[in-house]
Amino acid sequence: MGPGDFCLRHCHHIQPLRSSYVSDLLEAVLQKARLTAYATQDSHVTDKLEAENEVNNEMPNRMSLFYAEATPMLKTLSNATTKFVSENKTLPIEDTTDCLSTMACVCRVMLETPEYRCRFTNTDTMLFCMRVMVGVIILYDHVHPVGAFAKTSKIDMKGCIKVLKEQPSNSVEGLLNALRYTTRHLNDDSTSKQIRALLQ
């Protein structure tokens, strides 16, 4: 299981659980506030606080739109990779970015070449390749100074996006959204209008 696959698979499955997680977190914070209020004030005020601070699912969902990461595991992996590159200045950044671009290229070629694609025995293998491809593109975009969408990028972004768009939309919409919303350089001036249009 590749890093991009794990992160994107984790985020896909954890998404429905997020509101209950945020709700539990808010409930714990409110419980702490109640205990503090109890220690400093009488129980009559604490009962009133409990009645006013009941957490329903709507409030955590609204809050998560502003505070939660779209792909928390991938964000953590991106931060760790960026930190590794910045802390190891003796290693050329190209060592990392070349590895990531090669992985993206291998996945793209496996998906777009009928000769290789026919060897996949089930759709899970194709989904695995697509998740890894998107994951390493996002990592590349976070680590490389000009990102994955620039003309000088070693990743064929048009080819990668076209491969994704050839799949059923229900299986790749999350991956396309990950490219749209978790990359750093998509909206840079150096990104071609064609690539932006492909992701619209």
Predicted pLDDT of residue 103:
96
Burial 40-64 (b: 16+ CB within 10 A, else e): eeeeeebeeeeeeeeeeeeebeeee
> Domain locations in the chain?
3-8+71-198, 16-67
pLDDT tens for each residue of 168-192:
888 899 999 999 988 899 989 888 9
Predicted pLDDT of residue 9:
58
The whole-angstrom separation of Cα 74 and Cα 4 is: 7
The whole-angstrom separation of Cα 129 and Cα 74 is: 16
Predicted pLDDT of residue 179:
92
Predicted pLDDT of residue 87:
92
The whole-angstrom separation of Cα 200 and Cα 195 is: 9
**DSSP tag of 15:** G
Mean pLDDT of successive 10-residue stretches along the chain, which has 200 residues:
54 50 58 59 54 59 66 82 89 92 96 92 90 94 92 94 92 91 89 90
The whole-angstrom separation of Cα 18 and Cα 61 is: 8
Predicted pLDDT of residue 59:
66
Instruction: Report helix, strand or coil for 26.
Output: helix
Q: Which two tokens stand for residue 14?
A: 């954890």
pTM equals 0.69
